[in-house]
Amino acid sequence: MTDALLDVRDLSIHFRSGAREVQVTRKVSFTIAPGEVVGLVGESGCGKTVTGLALMGLLPRGRSRVTGNIFLGGEDFAAMSPRQMRRVRGRRISMIFQEPMSALDPVFTIGEQISETLRAHRDVSVGEARARAIEALTQVGIPEPELRYDAYPHQLSGGMRQRAMIAIALVCEPQLLIADEPTTALDVTVQAQIVEVLGGLCARLGMAMLFITHDLGLVAETCSRLVTMYAGEVVEEGHIDDVLVRPRHPYSSGLLRSLPALAQRKATLPAIPGRVPTVAEMPAGCRFRPRCAHARSVCEDPQSLVDSGNGHVRCCRQEELVLPGALRGEVAA
C-alpha cells in the first residue's frame, strides 16, 4: 500500500466478442497523489479512455474483463460490489467526457441534473441541492447561474455545456476527477478557459485530476506529472519538467518533437512514422519497435517498466539514449 490517492497496479483490460477476446491494455500501473494533476497522453487507440472507464467501473459488463488492482484511498475496487461501486462513482471519483452533449440528458435542465447527482450521493434537501447546484455553476464560471439552472443543454453553447458537465462532476466534491479530452470539441479560446477552470478547481478544492489529452501543450500548463501510453502499455512516467526537457522513451520524445509550437520554428514537423499497431499486428518485444529509429535486436525482448531515476520507463536503451524533448517555455508559449 502507498500514500497515493489512486494506485493502479497491473491493470489489464480485455474485450470479448463472441468466443474471441482481445487485450487492449497490458499491466498499466501508475499512481496519483492527493490533489495531484497527472496528464495521460498517447495517440488514438492507445487505451486512455478505456483506462479511465475502468477506474470508474464503467466498462460494459459481460463484454469486458479487467484484471489487476485499483486502490482509491487504500480501498480495492476489485473487492467492491456493483452497489458499492455506484456509491464511489460520483461521490469520490467523477469523470467528464469529450462531448458533453452526449453525456447530458436533453430532457432535464442543467440545474436538475446537478441537483439530482448531489441528492443521489448526499443526504440533502431539495432546497439545499438547488443552492449547491447554483454554487457549482458559479464555481465553473457560468454567468447568471440562477437563470442557467433552468436552462436545457441545447440552450447552452458548447463551452457552457462543458462547464455544466464539470459542475455535475464536482458537485459531490470528489477526491479524483478524470477529465477525458474535455476540450477537444471546443475552439481554442474556450479550450483555454476550460483548462483554467479545471486547474483552478483542483487547486481550490484540493481535488486530484487525471487529465487525458492528445495535447501536450495543455499538459505542460496544467499537470505536474505525465504518463505516456503506447499500444495499451505505459511506456513512460515522470515529473513533467523532466519529461519535457529529457524524455527517456523514444515515443515520448517523438510526441514532444511533433508539437506544433516547435514546428513553427522548424521547416517541417517531425512526425512519428507509421501508426499504432492493432491488436492483431502487435509486435513481440517492444511494441514501439517498428516505429523506433533506435531499435536494435535487444528490443525484440519483452520490455518492462523500470525505474529511470526520475520516474519509470519501458525501454532497455534508456540509459544510453539522449533524446530531444521540448523546453517548457516553448510548449507553454
Ligand X SMILES: Nc1ncnc2c1ncn2[C@@H]1O[C@H](COP(=O)(O)OP(=O)(O)OP(=O)(O)O)[C@@H](O)[C@H]1O
- Contacts with ligand SF4, residue ranges (CB under 6 A): 249-250, 286, 288-289, 292, 294-295, 299, 303, 315-317
Q: Write the interaction track for ligand X spanning residues 145-184; mark x where CB under 6 A is met and - where it is not.
A: ----------------------------------------
Query: Closest distance between ligand SF4 and the C-beta of residue 257, in Å?
Result: 14
With 0-12 / 13-18 / 19 or more C-beta atoms within 10 angstroms meaning exposed / middle / buried, residue 43 is: middle
Contact 32, 92 (CB under 8 A): no
Q: Which option in ligand SF4, Mg ion, ligand X, none does residue 119 bind, with CB closer than 5 to 8 A by kind?
A: none
Q: Which option in ligand X, ligand SF4, Mg ion, none does residue 30 bind, with CB closer than 5 to 8 A by kind?
A: none
- What does DSSP say about strands 208-212 and 37-41: parallel, antiparallel, or unpaired? parallel
DSSP codes, 103-160: HS-TTS-HHHHHHHHHHHHS---HHHHHHHHHHHHHHTT-SSHHHHTT--GGGS-HHH
By beta-carbon proximity to ligand SF4, the closer residue of 78 and 271 is: 271
Q: How many CA atoms lie within 13 A of 18 on its CB side?
A: 1
By beta-carbon proximity to Mg ion, the closer residue of 99 and 112 is: 99
Q: Write the interaction track for ligand X spanning residues 77-96; mark x where CB under 6 A is met and - where it is not.
A: --------------------
* Identified binder of Mg ion from the candidate list 25, 31, 49, 51, rule CB under 5 A: 49
Q: Which option in ligand SF4, Mg ion, ligand X, none does residue 47 bind, with CB closer than 5 to 8 A by kind?
A: ligand X
- What does DSSP say about strands 93-96 and 176-180: parallel, antiparallel, or unpaired? parallel
Cα 233 to the chain's mean position, in Å? 14
By beta-carbon proximity to ligand SF4, the closer residue of 3 and 320 is: 320
With 0-12 / 13-18 / 19 or more C-beta atoms within 10 angstroms meaning exposed / middle / buried, residue 86 is: middle
- Note the maximum CA span of the chain: 67
Query: Closest distance between Mg ion and the C-beta of residue 77, in Å?
Result: 20
Q: Which stretch binds Mg ion (CB under 5 A): 30-38, 46-54, 196-204, 322-330?
A: 46-54
By beta-carbon proximity to ligand SF4, the closer residue of 1 and 293 is: 293
By beta-carbon proximity to Mg ion, the closer residue of 41 and 243 is: 41
* Identified binder of ligand X from the candidate list 4, 37, 41, 46, rule CB under 6 A: 46
Query: Closest distance between ligand X and the C-beta of residue 52, in Å?
Result: 8
Give the type of residue at 329: G
Query: Closest distance between Mg ion and the C-beta of residue 273, in Å?
Result: 23
By beta-carbon proximity to ligand X, the closer residue of 133 and 186 is: 186
| 163 closest CA partner among 148, 145, 141 | 141
Q: Which stretches of the chain are assigned E, i.e. beta strand?
A: 6-17, 20-32, 37-41, 64-72, 75-76, 93-96, 176-180, 208-212, 225-230, 233-239, 306-307, 311-313
Under the binding rule (CB under 6 A), the answer on residue 47 touching ligand X is yes
Q: Which option in Mg ion, ligand SF4, ligand X, none does residue 45 bind, with CB closer than 5 to 8 A by kind?
A: ligand X
∠ CA 202-208-209, nearest 5°, is 90
Q: Which stretch binds Mg ion (CB under 5 A): 49-57, 79-87, 99-107, 262-270?
A: 49-57
Residues that bind ligand X (CB under 6 A): 15, 24, 42, 44-50, 60
